[in-house]
């Protein structure tokens, strides 16, 4: 029996469907809770090319729900995308896994998603989801929205020109503070697995051309209160994105400083700010600051703040929530 024999026996997939999966290319944006489950499922299903994009590194609190990671990855200071690539290549040597350690923004999303057959949303950030929505319309690539918080989750499959887009559901980003955040209410790993598994199944349907089986509306699930709903979604004739092709998020300048949900951390991302790692290490060590480094980033602690500096100039500052102070500290210790 072959690797995919049980999947091929399923009539809706069969040998032709499996062949289509092997020829498919997907990008998973975000490699945390949803992203690790999605990537694991699609790799085991035989999707031929999986691109994983994530800006973050692994921490102990991730292990409760991010299934591709373990304590050894934390000891090795691995970025999430790299650790996921290592694990997926052990799971399936017949596929290509392309890991990218980047912050997805308006400057790079079209390059990241170009030539893909499908975009999978595994982020925890509404700004990036609206950006994915714009990129999907621009490139005419379907995408699958997914979100989880507490015991609840939602998912919706969006096919340009065929289904309502994200801005038909939520025309604008909700005001700051009006939506629960993951650092306040937490999340159960069970809802993560359910929503990501639905996203993975929707992905397989799209990749093998079974669009008639796709969920046409918003699926909402609350595993604690036993609530399973399908919420009807209608096109909005005045939708700025899919009806009027105003791709506002693609045209916005990306934020260079943002607070990261659930991490008590701030990301500073000065665009196109290439660094000289050797000179930074030399300068910091000359002042008595201990610097650790690997193939992916530098780490050091100053003023009670832990810096993780990636070699493209992007940094994550831990134990801080003040974005202005974070930018000042970045300028002080790294420079613009």
User: What's the sign of the alpha-carbon dihedral 222, 223, 227, 229?
Assistant: positive
Taking phi over 0 as left and psi of -120 to 50 as alpha, with beta for the rest, 130 belongs to alpha
- From the list 182, 239, 242, 261, the catalytic residue is 182
| Secondary structure letter of residue 211 according to DSSP | G
- Which is it for the CA torsion 1, 214, 241, 126, positive or negative? negative
Is 207:49 a contact under the CB 8 Å cutoff? Answer: no
Assigned token pair, 204? 């397989």
Q: Which two tokens stand for residue 241?
A: 């994105």
With residue 188 as reference, give the H or E element that holds it. Answer: none
Contact present, 333 and 285 (Cβ < 8 Å): no
Instruction: Look up 182 and say whether it is catalytic.
Output: yes
Cα dihedral 128/131/133/137 (nearest 10): -160
- Token code pair at residue 117: 């057959």
Q: Which residues are catalytic?
A: 182
């Amino acid at each position: 029996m072959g690797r995919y024999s049980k999947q091929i026996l399923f009539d809706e997939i069969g040998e032709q469907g499996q062949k289509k999966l092997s020829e498919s290319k997907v990008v998973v944006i975000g490699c945390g809770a949803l992203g690790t489950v999605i990537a694991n499922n699609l790799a085991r299903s035989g999707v031929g090319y999986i691109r994983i994009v994530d800006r973050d590194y692994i921490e102990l609190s991730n292990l409760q729900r991010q299934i591709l990671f373990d304590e050894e990855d934390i000891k090795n200071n691995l970025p999430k995308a790299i650790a996921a690539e290592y694990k997926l290549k052990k799971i399936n040597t017949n596929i290509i896994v392309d890991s990218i350690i980047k912050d997805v923004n308006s400057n790079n999303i079209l390059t990241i998603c170009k030539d893909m057959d499908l975009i999978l949303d595994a982020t925890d950030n509404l700004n990036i989801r609206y950006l994915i929505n714009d990129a999907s319309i621009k490139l005419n690539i379907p995408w699958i929205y997914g979100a989880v918080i507490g015991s609840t989750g939602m998912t919706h499959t969006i096919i340009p020109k065929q289904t309502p887009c994200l801005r038909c559901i939520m025309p604008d980003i909700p005001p700051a503070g009006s939506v629960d955040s993951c650092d306040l209410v937490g999340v159960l790993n069970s809802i993560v697995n359910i929503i990501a598994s639905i996203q993975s199944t929707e992905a397989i349907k799209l990749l093998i051309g079974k669009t008639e089986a796709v969920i046409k509306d918003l699926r909402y699930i609350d595993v604690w209160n036993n609530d399973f709903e399908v919420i009807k979604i209608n096109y909005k004739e005045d939708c700025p994105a899919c009806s009027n092709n105003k791709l506002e998020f693609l045209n916005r300048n990306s934020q260079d400083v943002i607070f990261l949900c659930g991490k008590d951390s701030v990301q500073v991302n000065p665009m196109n700010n290439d660094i000289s790692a050797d000179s930074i290490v030399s300068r910091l060590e000359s002042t008595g600051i201990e610097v650790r480094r690997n193939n992916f980033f530098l780490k050091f602690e100053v003023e009670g703040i832990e810096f993780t500096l990636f070699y493209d100039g992007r940094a994550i500052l831990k134990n801080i929530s003040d974005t202005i102070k974070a930018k000042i500290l970045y300028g002080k210790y790294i420079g613009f």
